[in-house]
Amino acid sequence: MTAAPPTTATTPPDGAVTRIPGPRGRILPAVIRSEWTKIRSVRSTVWSLFATFGITVGLGALFCFAYVRRYDHLNIRQRLTFDPTVQSLRGLFLAQIAIGVLGVLVISSEYATGLIRTTLAAVPQRRVLLAAKAVVFGVVALVVSMISVFVAFFVGQAVLHGKHLGVSLGDPHVLRAVLGAGVYLTIVGLLGLALGAIVRRTAGAIATLFAVVLVLPLLTRALPNPWDTDIGKFLPAELGAAMFNVRPDSSLLSPGTALVVALVWLVVAFTTAAVLITRRDA
């Protein structure tokens, strides 16, 4: 009888990818930590988040200042239909592009550089990877969005108080509207992430995001009545307007319904992304 050869420990070659071991329930927290390291170490993340904050606050203050300057020349109808909360949050219509583009870059940049192959080698469970990216980016986007909209609200109301037009968070529906604005920005960012996973090309995903958020509402307005309203109110931009609108508007969905429809958009987008990410090669 011959003795079995002794076992020796082998060292993986340089550049080898270490897979994250363990059951799926344990993999997700590890992948989340990895994605958090990625997102906070990329310079584009900081600039995009700063742009989201700056646009939301800066444009909101600018619109409020412009309204105060021309207030004395407005007619009675324009004064009675004025919504101070919406006025201070008008920067969202441009800020949504900044945070949506960041959502696209969170995953499309890995496809562009080829880093996605290394990522998928370390995390073969592709849906877990997509979920981890959504969790990390969603939390970051929510925090930055909420800070942005609350600062924009307070700055805008400070400007409007020059004409005694400002409101407070304690007024009816105002707090709900400001929170809805922050949630809407987060949803657009996550929609950008899902589109980045679906399209995989940065330019194509950003173009798709522009089409969904900005172009489609303009096209629906060219439709004959009542199709323009019946279709348009289910698009993301109009859903956002409904979520942070204080005054009732028959052309928009109710805030609660708008939130549900916006979440349906996310579910459809991420379901499509989850299916495609497991069926296509990196």
Contact call for residues 164 and 127 (beta carbons, < 8 A): no
pLDDT of residue 19: 53
Span between the terminal Cα atoms of the chain, in Å: 50
**Pairwise CA distance, residues 92 & 67, whole Å:** 17
Q: Where are the alpha helices (DSSP H) in the chain?
A: 24-41, 43-69, 76-80, 84-88, 92-113, 115-122, 126-160, 174-199, 202-210, 216-221, 227-232, 236-243, 255-279
Calculate the CA 48 to chain-centre distance.
11
| Angle ∠(115,116,122) on CA atoms, nearest 5 | 100
- The full set of domain ranges for the chain reads 34-279
pLDDT of residue 72: 84
pLDDT of residue 282: 64
Q: With CA atoms as reference, report the closest residue to 51 among 163, 145, 139.
A: 145
- In tens digits, the chain (282 residues) has pLDDT values of 444 444 433 333 444 444 555 555 578 888 999 899 988 888 888 899 999 999 999 999 999 999 999 988 888 888 888 899 999 999 998 999 999 999 999 999 999 888 888 888 888 899 999 999 999 999 999 999 999 999 999 999 999 998 888 999 999 999 999 999 999 999 999 999 999 999 999 999 999 999 999 999 889 988 888 888 889 999 999 999 999 999 878 888 999 999 999 999 999 999 999 999 998 876
Phi-psi region of 47 (alpha: psi -120 to 50; beta: other; left: phi over 0): alpha
User: Side-chain half-sphere of 5: how many Cα atoms within 13 Å?
Assistant: 3
- DSSP per-residue codes, 78-92: HHHT--HHHHHTTTH
pLDDT of residue 46: 87
Q: Where are the alpha helices (DSSP H) in 74-125?
A: 76-80, 84-88, 92-113, 115-122
Residues 6+ apart with CB under 8 A from 229: 251
Contact call for residues 76 and 170 (beta carbons, < 8 A): no
pLDDT of residue 41: 84
pLDDT of residue 238: 93
Quick one: DSSP state of residue 20?
-
Calculate the CA 70 to chain-centre distance.
33
Q: To the nearest 10°, the Cα dihedral for 108, 110, 113, 116? A: -130
